[in-house]
Amino acid sequence: MSTSTSFSATPPMDEAAEGHVIDVSGGDWDEQIGDLGMHPEERIVVNMGPQHPSTHGVLRLILELDGETVTETRAGIGYLHTGIEKNMEFRTWTQGVTFCTRMDYLTPMFQEAAYCLSVERLLGIEDEIPERANAIRVLMMELTRVSSHLICLGTGGMELGATTVMTIGFRERERLLSIIENITGLRMNNAYIRPGGVAQDLSSNSIEMIREYVPVVRKGIGELEQLLLENPILKGRLKNVGYLSLTGCTALGITGPILRSTGLPHDLRKLAPYCGYEKYDFEVVTRTGADAYDRLAIRLEEMRESLKIIEQVTDELEANPGPVMVADKKIAWPAQLALGGDGLGNSLEHIRNIMGTSMEALIHHFKIVTEGFRVPPGQAYVAVESPKGELGCHTVSEGGTRPYRAHFRDPSFNNLQAASAMCEGGNLADVVVAVASIDPVMGGVDR
């Protein structure tokens, strides 16, 4: 690595340390190893992270280098452990949504959906979920998919020095988050999808807002494509970097855009449809290069397919009003939520009903909120197709009002195992590209 930065080295200061401990700050490595008394066959170990700006959170990569070539890569995780799965064992089934939505904080709707579908399978009410609730779930998941991909491309571009890619990606994501906020009241960590349906119906101007923003976001994605796909500098950085074949993906349990970049059209929305995905027209995007460039291209095209789904769902929601929560009042969390005159809480009409005219409604409201509903003993596993791959939720019930166990198969955790295969044998600078193409979020990895 040649650079104008001056080179400095200090002799080993800690006699207890194993081997040589050397501080370097630039210079040409080949010219300096002789002066340092090192032999060419010696290796240097570098910690990338856990606070490096290119590790997508608090990921620690332990890299063994031969000059600028990576000879070994190990991932160190656990710096963002929050105990979410354990905490869910001490909350009601509905309260669990508030925890799992915070795992992968870029894809909250997918954790909520997987968890709620799993609970609904235990309850045996999968066929009782209102069609409108399922359509809203699809809408929210696809809005979140585009939002997540924009973050992946934006931060990846920033790490390569392409600041404009980041500004465009974040700009378009803001439009999507404003739609999500309009519907759920929050930009992230929404706790909007609930067992039995969703927390509340669309707001009065949601359809209009979606129709206004979707064409603008589609135009922004076109800007990203023009900036990226045929850019010779980007092609030079991404082509044949982070390569992982279909055999490697299968051996490591890798899913999502990484797997689809090998040519395999594996997408749970098509292979095992849920929430009514079989009703919508969209394509599973694949490529065959199995490298970082193809994963970039797949994410760009997947965003276009998601916008197609969003438009179809919007038409359906506009034409078919209906309930958004299961009819069984022993399970249904109150979903008649509307803003009161002060801008807070339920509508005054709903409050008057449960507190003034129906003692039974008041008692039920109190019990369902404080105690929750009971789930029959058993276990269930349901998986959805998140922006990063297969996101599964395995729930176990002992027949009580709380999960005995809730465990998630987060795709970032599995996909991160590919870091070694993608990085070893390549250049140090390519580690940044490979990790960005995996798109890990450490909140989902550590949980």
Q: CA-to-CA distance for 229 and 420, rounded, in angstroms?
A: 26
Confidence band of 9 (pLDDT split at 50, 70, 90): very low
Q: Give the per-residue pLDDT at 46.
A: 84
Residues spanned by the domain of 217: 92-328+379-446
17 lies in a domain?
no
In this structure, the answer to whether residues 209 and 257 fall within a common structural domain is yes
Signed CA dihedral, 270, 272, 273, 278: sign only: positive
323 lies in a domain?
yes
Q: CA-to-CA distance for 69 and 388, rounded, in angstroms?
A: 28
Q: CA-to-CA distance for 440 and 327, rounded, in angstroms?
A: 38
pLDDT 10s digits, 236-293: 888 888 898 899 899 999 998 999 999 899 999 999 999 889 999 999 999 988 889 9
Q: What is the mean pLDDT of the chain?
A: 84
- The number of C-alpha atoms within 13 Å of 358 and in the hemisphere containing its C-beta is 13
Q: CA-to-CA distance for 63 and 75, rounded, in angstroms?
A: 9
**What average pLDDT does range 61-89 have in this prediction?**
87
26 lies in a domain?
no
In this structure, the answer to whether residues 219 and 107 fall within a common structural domain is yes
In this structure, the answer to whether residues 188 and 112 fall within a common structural domain is yes
Could you tell me the CATH number of the domain that includes residue 219?
A: 1.10.645.10
In this structure, the answer to whether residues 199 and 302 fall within a common structural domain is yes
Residue 346 has pLDDT above 80, yes or no: no
**What average pLDDT does range 379-408 have in this prediction?**
92
In this structure, the answer to whether residues 201 and 336 fall within a common structural domain is no
Q: Give the per-residue pLDDT at 69.
A: 85
In this structure, the answer to whether residues 96 and 195 fall within a common structural domain is yes
Confidence band of 138 (pLDDT split at 50, 70, 90): very high
- The number of C-alpha atoms within 13 Å of 180 and in the hemisphere containing its C-beta is 30
Number of domains in the chain: 2
pTM: 0.85
Q: Give the per-residue pLDDT at 334.
A: 66
Q: Give the per-residue pLDDT at 362.
A: 74
pLDDT 10s digits, 177-201: 999 998 888 888 888 899 988 888 8
